[in-house]
A and B are shown apart, each in its own frame.
Chain A
Amino acid sequence: MIILAKSKTLCARSAAALVIHRVTQGQSLNTAFVDINKRLDESQRSLFQQLSYGVIRWYPTLEFIGKQLLSKPLKTKDGDVFALLLMGIYQLRSLRIPDHAALSETVNACKLLNKQWASGLINACLRNYQRQQDALEKSVTEQLVSNFAHPAWLIEKYQSDWPDHWRQILEANNQQPPMMLRVNRREYSQTDYLALLATANIPAYAIENCPQGILLEQACDVFSLPGFVDGAVSVQDGAAQQVVDLLDLQSGLRILDACAAPGGKTCHILERFPTNQMTALDISDERLKQVDENLSRLHLSATCLAADACDTQNWWNGEQFDRILIDAPCSGSGVIRRHPDIKLLRKPEDIQQLAQQQQDLLDNLWPLLKPDGLLVYTTCSAFKQENELQIEAFLLRQPDAMEHVPAMAPARRAGFGYQLLPGDNDLDGFYYACLRHR
């Protein structure tokens, strides 16, 4: 049951507190965000987004400060109050909202959460933060977790894989991600679309080494992009746009995109050569619908199948492919700037399990490749175990596979394949390997 007084509409801050609380309880940031966003007034949405993403991005640091301000930890069911406290600290240290407004609005949000009792507590803690700001901020810099806003295990993993780059990676992970577009070459050239954006007063630039890539100065709603619904452009990071070149495409090929959803790369490949016979697989029914949506928006077609790619008995008709793309499920450790909830949701034991899935995909799909065919393996991970070590082990198991050297290297050379690290060229972290069937 619910009574009217308990279902007040939310403000940006109370709504963000609910989102943050849900993420700490294991829900993905995107799911929680979309769900709560529906309950908000239009005018509150931009601050709501800034607060939800900002607090999750800086969670380890804010938690470190927040815990010092509380004399005893809050109960689990008051996770929303804790979220509100962290949000208050976040506004005071990082946003350009005047301190008194940040303070009073955050305290007020307690009411909308039905936690009036907490307003005194939040007020006292935030005032304490202001009073002790220098000492607290000094203590933040003294520990890696709080200084770099990452859980200890992630920091250690980056350090051991990238002893010379881990700082760059951690810092890049904390940046707000830029919004990047891929122009549909069947509709517009990069230059023509840049001109269209200019007339629409959307400041944008061409991305270097990325013939269809455009960087927006500021993120915007996709529906405000000229021609979006008719397939003029798609949202895709420049790092992902480099994959299509590695596939050495021409028309008339049989192609398998084994992990296709939401269809970014499937569509990019078909924009190049729409007559290719494309099979797009994904294990998730739900996510596969997004592939359909993207294909139809871009007026392209492919055979979409919901299946576990490893279970070839079930979905494969026995006819081999000229090209296979495995854009494997991974830790996402290269794209934390886009998915800051990875910091809270990913657990160290996940990595081994993901590596096993990647290995299964490689082993089960390799026999589906024609002799002289090309398999491209990619992840948005920065961990060697999912990337170069995965490929090294695969090459040892598969004597008829050999590394293929593409015409242009997409990133820094790794032991095997190529690795883009977060912070390189302001792109997402990404791994690429090309394997040829002898």
Chain B
Amino acid sequence: MALLNILHFPDPRLRQKALPIKKVDDDIRQLAHDMLETMYDAPGIGLAATQVNEQKRLIVIDVSEEKDSPLFLINPELLVTEGERDFEEGCLSVPEAYEMVTRADKIRVRALNLQGETFEMEADGILATCIQHEIDHLEGKLFVDYLSNLKRQRIKKRLEKHQKQKL
């Protein structure tokens, strides 16, 4: 396994649209496991390949307290969305910013698993929020896009300052 580097907002690479995965092979499985370790290490509850600079439609999620229920979604599609729910979200690519975002409360998704087989699942609550947050990443979209311009600029300024300090 390996820990991967997570890109930080406002890195333009976070704005790229990820490409569908044609074949689920060992490279993809390796990437998925590295992403999972990176996510656990952070620690976070979801990570999209875009965030580790891989333009592939792959996300990993684990919302369990015990961190023993990883979920891998390859080429995920939202089939149905229902209701509304507010949740204070944060993102591994936007350190130290937590903001309320409104998303669908219940969803149905279709995706491939690590064996390349198609499956469908329903989700609600935090899992539903997380899946939508990660699918957004694959579209080049970030949770800060749901905020007011002013709030987004403030976060951007702060992170740019951070990055300069690191250099």
Q: Is the CB of A2 within 8 A of B92?
A: yes
Q: Is the CB of B3 within 8 A of A25?
A: yes
Q: Is the CB of B67 within 8 A of A3?
A: no
* Per-position 1/0 for A1-29, Cβ under 8 A of B: 11110110000000000100110011100
Q: Is the CB of A4 within 8 A of B90?
A: yes
Given contacts A77-B37, A116-B65, contact A3 B45 (CB under 8 A): yes
* Per-position 1/0 for A82-117, Cβ under 8 A of B: 000000000000000000000000000000011111
Q: How large is the interface on B (under 10, 10 to 19, 20 to 34, 35 or more residues)?
A: 20 to 34
Q: Is the CB of A115 within 8 A of B44?
A: no
List B contacts of A76 (CB < 8 A).
1
Q: Is the CB of B90 within 8 A of A1?
A: yes
Judge if B88 is at the interface, Cβ distance under 8 Å. Answer: yes
What total count of A-B pairs have CB within 8 Å? 64
Task: Give the contacting residue for B44; candidates A6, A27, A116; CB below 8 A.
Answer: A6
Task: Give the contacting residue for B2; candidates A1, A21, A26; CB below 8 A.
Answer: A26
Q: Is the CB of B66 within 8 A of A3?
A: no
Which chain A residue shows the least CB distance to B96?
A: A7
Given contacts A7-B43, A22-B41, A114-B43, contact A1 B67 (CB under 8 A): no
Task: Among A1, A18, A25, A27, find the residue whose CB has the most chain B CB atoms closer than 10 A.
Answer: A1
Q: Is the CB of A25 within 8 A of B1?
A: yes
List B contacts of A117 (CB < 8 A).
65-66
Judge if B98 is at the interface, Cβ distance under 8 Å. Answer: yes
Q: Is the CB of A1 within 8 A of B43?
A: no
List A contacts of B88 (CB < 8 A).
3-4
Q: How many residues of A contact B (CB 8 A)?
A: 20
CA gap between A77 and B133 in the complex, in Å: 24
Given contacts A77-B40, A116-B65, A117-B66, contact A1 B3 (CB under 8 A): no
Which chain B residue shows the least CB distance to A32?
A: B3
Q: Is the CB of B3 within 8 A of A2?
A: no
Which chain A residue shows the least CB distance to B36?
A: A77
With both chains docked as a complex, state the minimum distance between the C-beta of A431 and any C-beta of chain B, in angstroms: 33
Q: Is the CB of A1 within 8 A of B41?
A: no
Which chain B residue shows the least CB distance to A114?
A: B43
Task: Among B1, B3, B43, find the residue whose CB has the most chain A CB atoms closer than 10 A.
Answer: B43
* Per-position 1/0 for B122-137, Cβ under 8 A of A: 0000100110011000
Q: Is the CB of A4 within 8 A of B133?
A: no
CA gap between A26 and B34 in the complex, in Å: 13
Judge if B19 is at the interface, Cβ distance under 8 Å. Answer: no
Judge if B91 is at the interface, Cβ distance under 8 Å. Answer: yes
Which chain A residue shows the least CB distance to B132?
A: A1
Q: Is the CB of B98 within 8 A of A1?
A: no
Judge if B139 is at the interface, Cβ distance under 8 Å. Answer: no
CA gap between A7 and B65 in the complex, in Å: 13
Q: Is the CB of B37 within 8 A of A1?
A: no
CA gap between A75 and B37 in the complex, in Å: 12
With both chains docked as a complex, state the minimum distance between the C-beta of B13 and any C-beta of chain A, in angstroms: 18
Judge if B78 is at the interface, Cβ distance under 8 Å. Answer: no
CA gap between A75 and B47 in the complex, in Å: 21
CA gap between A75 and B91 in the complex, in Å: 27
Judge if B54 is at the interface, Cβ distance under 8 Å. Answer: no
With both chains docked as a complex, state the minimum distance between the C-beta of B152 and any C-beta of chain A, in angstroms: 17
List A contacts of B45 (CB < 8 A).
1-3, 6
List A contacts of B71 (CB < 8 A).
none
Task: Give the contacting residue for A1; candidates B40, B65, B91; CB below 8 A.
Answer: B91
Instruction: Give 7 nearest A-B pairs by CB, closest first.
Output: A1-B46, A2-B44, A2-B90, A1-B133, A1-B130, A4-B98, A2-B92
- Name 13 A/B residue pairs within 8 A (Cβ), A-sorted: A1-B61, A1-B130, A2-B44, A3-B88, A4-B88, A4-B98, A6-B44, A6-B45, A22-B41, A25-B1, A25-B2, A114-B43, A117-B65
With A3-B90, A113-B43 given, can you name 6 additional A-B contacts, CB distance below 8 Å? A1-B46, A2-B91, A3-B87, A25-B1, A116-B65, A117-B65
